[in-house]
Structure 1
């Protein structure tokens, strides 16, 4: 299978993984701006964008394997990995399964906690909606709600671009990943033991991951770098792009000596 990716720059490798219903394009501005100092790699997760779907039953550990294989083909022996939402879950899986390749991680509007019963029920309802109404209608309703309403008007072109890309995603990809997220394991024990630094970016207005849930994990991290975004939902890399860029840039600079 083929994993599509974009790569820019030279130097220490930094990998950015996109979230659910997205493609590598959400990280384009970050790749462009960081590529003067680092080798920045932005893959499409299997089934998203231009990447092939997995040829077997989808699980987050299998997704992690596919991204690891892609990095090995690029001769990456060590890197920092950052993931948005679903991309954060995959980041955690890669760090668990292949600790030698991951020096530090970034969780951008993501969580080390497994789904609650309520969250699992919500995922199952989303699957039913996708199967009944189709991909386009789901993406059109799903994407805008990731942004806090205070940002939706000024970012309407960005939102529409994400919707346009997301509407091309195969139905099976969306439903399979929804199941994989529902069934993923808890990673709290892992972050308690992880010796690297963790950039943890969270939004006070995030309806997908409530702020109390985000804050509850911080005490388990050995070396946390925190970025709290008071006016932001689930898409801080757009809602507060400059703040998030500076947090990421400083994190890489401080942790990569």
Structure 2
């Protein structure tokens, strides 16, 4: 389906709508586009109405004034009003998309039937993580986005994926598109500034899905385990062969997990 768009504070935001049924958002992460969900869209669209945005600054979507996690959550809230007014929805967020999902759950809990953290976390950045992001910002500013992706992206995948499926990683990098260094830096700065949202999990009035990667170095498995028992109702799954990109590394298992959660909510 072709991209649709709506205007948010004068900036175009592009998205796709696929399928019919209860509405679920699939929210991509840092340095990705909505196309990262292609396997999941194909598996879910027969049962669910999927809204897949390209976040502000990604693809053809314009940058907005507030590029914080809270500001990007407000964009998703406006998109929900545009495409599903009055409906309760499910948000599934990958990585940075999960940080945005948590900001959404904090600000707009009344319209959520459930939400999911796919390789994501309610914990804020540690000082060590902030230092890593600052180093990445310096690299992006000096060498550009394409060089940064070529260097950093393979590390998002499990060692076995890197060894056995190098073509998958190359294809993913080729699909990343033409991000401006400014946008990548703004995303990194927003992630560094996000607060602790463990209380959002503790206070969640709806079911929460956790998908953890056994070999995830971006959101370590051990950090995920600290969070999964906080909500009143959790759905907890581990992708044993995945790093940070389970929707690509173990697509069939990811699809089953998402389908079961969406059916349950």
Range of TM-score over shorter length: over 0.9
Structure 1 residue 223: Cα displacement: 0.7
Q: CA RMSD in A?
A: 1.3
Is residue 2:173 matched to residue 1:163? Answer: yes
Asked whether the 8 Å contact 1:139–1:167 carries over to 2, the reply is no
Q: Which residue matches 2:105?
A: 95
Distance in structure 1 (CA, Å) of the matches to 2:109 and 2:119: 22
TM-score normalized by structure 1?
A: 0.95
Distance in structure 2 (CA, Å) of the matches to 1:171 and 1:204: 31
1:151 corresponds, among 161, 166, 185, to 161
Is residue 2:211 matched to residue 1:211? Answer: no
Structure 1 alignment gaps of length 5 or more: none
Is residue 2:83 matched to residue 1:74? Answer: yes
Q: Which residue matches 1:239?
A: 249
Structure 1 residue 166: Cα displacement: 2.5
Structure 1 residue 68: Cα displacement: 1.2
Distance in structure 1 (CA, Å) of the matches to 2:163 and 2:147: 20
Asked whether the 8 Å contact 2:39–2:251 carries over to 1, the reply is no
Structure 2 alignment gaps of length 5 or more: 1-10
Structure 1 residue 153: Cα displacement: 4.3
Q: Which residue matches 1:59?
A: 68
Task: Tell me the number of residue pairs that the alignment of Structure 1 and Structure 2 aligns.
Answer: 254
Task: Tell me the alpha carbon deviations over residues 47-96 of structure 1, each in whole angstroms, 9 at most, x when there is no partner.
Answer: 01221111x24211111111111121113421111010000001111111
Q: Look up the SS of the partner of 2:255 in the other structure.
A: helix
Please list, as runs of the form range in 1=range in 2, the aligned pairs for 1:167-178 lying within 5 A after superposition. Answer: 167-178=177-188
Q: Which residue matches 2:189?
A: 179
Q: Which residue matches 2:3?
A: none
Task: Tell me the alpha carbon deviations over residues 228-254 of structure 1, each in whole angstroms, 9 at most, x when there is no partner.
Answer: 122221011111111111111111112
Distance in structure 2 (CA, Å) of the matches to 1:202 and 1:75: 29
